[in-house]
Amino acid sequence: MKVCHLTSVHPRYDVRIFHKECCSLAKNGYQVTLIVSDSQDDELKEGVTIIDAGVSTKSRVLRMLKTTKAVYREALKIDADIYHFHDPELIPYGLKLKKKGKIVIFDSHEDVPKQIISTKAYIPFFIRRIISYLYSKYEKRTIRKFDAVITVTPHIVERLEKINPNTIMLTNYPIVTEIKQNTEIPEKAVCFAGLIAPLWKHTTILDALSLLNDIKYNLAGIIEPEYLKALQQNKCWERVHFVGKIPPNEVFNFMRKSAIGMALCDYTEEVGFNMGTLGNTKLFEYMRAGIPIICTDFILWKQIIDKEKCGICVNPRDIKSIADAIEYILSNPVEAESMGKAGQNAVKEKYNWAAQEKILFDLYRNL
Burial 29-40 (b: 16+ CB within 10 A, else e): ebbbbbbbbbee
Each residue's pLDDT tens digit, 1-54: 999 999 999 999 999 999 999 999 999 999 999 999 988 989 999 999 999 998
Each residue's pLDDT tens digit, 42-66: 999 999 999 999 877 777 777 888 9
* Cβ neighbours for 43, distance < 8 A, ≥ 6 positions apart: 49, 50
Q: 263 to each of 111, 170, 295, how far by Cα in Å?
A: 20, 21, 4
The most distant pair of C-alpha atoms in the chain lies apart, rounded to whole Å, by 65
User: What average pLDDT score do residues 87-104 get?
Assistant: 97
The H or E element that residue 169 is part of is: strand 167-169
Burial class (CB in 10 A: 0-12, 13-18, 19+), 248: exposed
| pLDDT at residue 128 in the model | 87
**DSSP, res 120:** -
User: What average pLDDT score do residues 273-293 get?
Assistant: 93
The average confidence (pLDDT) of the chain is 93
| pLDDT at residue 242 in the model | 97
Burial 60-73 (b: 16+ CB within 10 A, else e): eeebbebbbebbbe
251, 258 contact by CB (below 8 A): no
Q: How far apart are the first and last CA of the chain?
A: 12
Q: 189 to each of 4, 306, 329, how far by Cα in Å?
A: 44, 23, 11
| pLDDT at residue 178 in the model | 66
| pLDDT at residue 181 in the model | 63
DSSP 90-101: GHHHHHHHHHTT
Confidence class for position 180, pLDDT limits 50, 70, 90:
low
Burial class (CB in 10 A: 0-12, 13-18, 19+), 95: middle
Give me the domains of the chain, ranges plus CATH numbers.
Answer: 2-171+353-366 (3.40.50.2000), 187-349 (3.40.50.2000)
DSSP-derived pairing of the beta strands 293-296 and 216-220: unpaired
